[in-house]
A = this chain, B = another copy of it.
């Protein structure tokens, strides 16, 4: 690099009161340093979740819209199987929302595979303009953020947000092909085979059976890259927890809230190890979220009986848990307001092999019951 590190940041972003902070006060859609409070809320009209066999056998098993009989889903390769998960999730979400592909102005989609091939090969046939996103396992949060921004601003009547992951394609992409039969430490997580798709709209319109939208998106906090220098790709929970803590603290500051404002604060895939780190980091910052915290990776598997170690992970983990479980709790009135915050580990096989650390990122979306 040509420029010295110290020149890059002249002050801590969080406490700086530079031109952006001052100007931000004049813009009623932005709040604080990193967040947006949507002037016009956006509705999750409907959604769908498709998972693999193991996820179907887990605690949320009977809540998913579809459970595959085997994880190839009738395809020739793991990557093709993951593509079809995305295609089918979008298809089901469209049907449940009473929409067709022609109604959807933009797709916001991504996955974990190199060059997002699950998305490229899964969604081509819809012929919907595509804005590809990448935030590792935080991608569901990023796609909902960008999709809701587009709808709220009037750039689209309807958008679809979709993400996926697949245990076998992810192991091959990031670690070892399954055929190697390698051992996994207890801190490792189990990549969820699944895809979740969400149809967003600007009006609280009813679906084909007269059902109301599932929830409203009212705000978001975009995360930044946080790197504590951890290098263990078999302990991604610990790698991502600092990013989750960073986004959460920024969210509380930006919206001037305390954890009690939420019925649940839901991370994507920290798992049991990452959860411990997150709670500890937040206590150090003066926030206790032990009463509100939930992690999709912990919910989706019974770690003990399913041998999934630290919990579930992957873009699909938070996406299918949101569609099948979180939105259901909001619909049924058990929760009024939750913060949905998928967490991503920004590594690749190349960066890992070159000895780089595993930075994290987390994007938070405010979901409210209707």
Contacts and interface: CB of A to CB of B under 8 A. Distances in A.
A279 interface: no
Nearest to A26: B157
A34 interface: yes
B29 A155 contact: yes
Nearest to A38: B155
Contacts of A172: 350
A351 B79 contact: yes
Interface string A44-85: 000000000000000000000010000001110101100010
A11 B127 CA distance: 11
Given A91-B3, A115-B346, A350-B79, A20 B105 contact: yes
Contacts of A146: 131, 146
Interface string A86-126: 01100100000000111111100010111111001101111
Given A125-B8, A224-B130, A103 B356 contact: no
Contact of A106 (B24, B74, B113, B222): B222
A184 interface: no
> What band does the interface of chain A fall in when counting residues whose beta carbon is under 8 Å from B?
35 or more
A354 B16 contact: no
Interface of A: 1-3, 5, 7-11, 13, 16, 18-21, 23-24, 27-30, 33-34, 36, 66, 73-75, 77, 79-80, 84, 87-88, 91, 100-106, 110, 112-117, 120-121, 123-136, 142, 145-146, 149-150, 152-158, 172-173, 221-227, 346-351, 354, 356, 359, 361
A349 B350 CA distance: 13
16 contacts: A1-B87, A8-B126, A10-B101, A13-B101, A13-B128, A20-B103, A27-B157, A29-B154, A33-B105, A113-B350, A115-B348, A120-B225, A120-B351, A129-B223, A149-B155, A152-B153
B154 A20 contact: no
A250 to B, nearest CB: 8
A155 B30 contact: yes
Contact of A130 (B2, B87, B127, B225): B225
Contacts of A101: 8-10, 13
A114 B170 CA distance: 12
A222 B129 contact: yes
Contacts of A79: 350-351, 354
Given A8-B126, A158-B20, A115 B133 contact: no
Nearest to A16: B102
A231 to B, nearest CB: 13
Contacts of A120: 225, 346, 351, 359
Nearest to A81: B1
Given A117-B351, A351-B79, A354-B79, A104 B20 contact: yes
Contacts of A7: 91
Contacts of A125: 5, 8-9
